[in-house]
């Protein structure tokens, strides 16, 4: 029973962390401080999840998924992580930046993974996939 409570506490804590980070991103975007988003993501994930997002986004897709799923356990958390990567990728203003493309590709990977493995269909998720594909094509 105590182990289950601990696991639930860890899941809740991860949810609070990711949603708080997303709120912070949206506030930075609203305040036209988008250039800070990448450093906030880098520092926050390094501190909380003990991995470097700069190293993670250059991993092969299977390795990236494995790493993220080790740290982020639920579908909601994976979706929030995909949104964080999307917002970060969109905040990098250099259109041909390899880093920007990596953030967007990994976001697309997470959304696609969720779309394929989730028991429920999400129109919002499908829209995000189409949006990222459109950005990557242009």
CB 40 within 8 A of CB 23: no
In the structure encoding, which two tokens stand for residue 28, read together? 């930075």
**Cα(86)–Cα(98) distance, integer angstroms:** 14
Pairwise CA distance, residues 138 & 53, whole Å: 25
CA dist 107 and 136 (Å) reads 11
- Per-residue pLDDT of 90-120, as tens digits, reads 888 776 788 889 999 999 999 999 999 988 8
Q: How confident is the chain (138 residues) per 10-residue block, as mean pLDDT?
A: 65 77 80 81 80 89 92 86 89 79 95 92 93 92
* pLDDT confidence of residue 48: 79
Amino acid 34: pLDDT: 74
The pTM is what?
Answer: 0.81
Closest CA to 72 of 9, 8, 18: 18
Among candidates 3, 20, 17, which has minimal Cα distance to 49? 17
Q: What is the DSSP letter of 83?
A: H
Token pair listed for 80: 């929030």
The full set of domain ranges for the chain reads 2-137
Give which of 12, 109, 15 is closest to 66, Cα–Cα: 109
């Amino acid at each position: 029973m105590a182990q289950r409570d601990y696991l639930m506490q860890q899941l809740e804590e991860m949810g609070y962390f990711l949603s708080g980070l997303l709120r912070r991103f949206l506030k930075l975007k609203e305040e036209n401080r988008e250039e800070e988003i990448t450093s906030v993501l880098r520092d926050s994930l390094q501190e909380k999840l003990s991995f470097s997002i700069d190293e993670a986004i250059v991993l092969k897709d299977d390795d990236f998924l494995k790493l993220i799923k080790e740290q982020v356990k639920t579908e909601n958390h994976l979706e929030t992580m995909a949104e964080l990567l999307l917002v970060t990728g969109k905040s990098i203003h250099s259109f041909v930046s390899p880093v920007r493309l990596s953030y967007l590709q990994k976001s697309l990977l997470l959304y696609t993974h969720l779309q394929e493995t989730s028991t429920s269909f999400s129109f919002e998720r499908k829209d995000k996939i189409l949006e990222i594909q459109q950005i990557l094509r242009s």
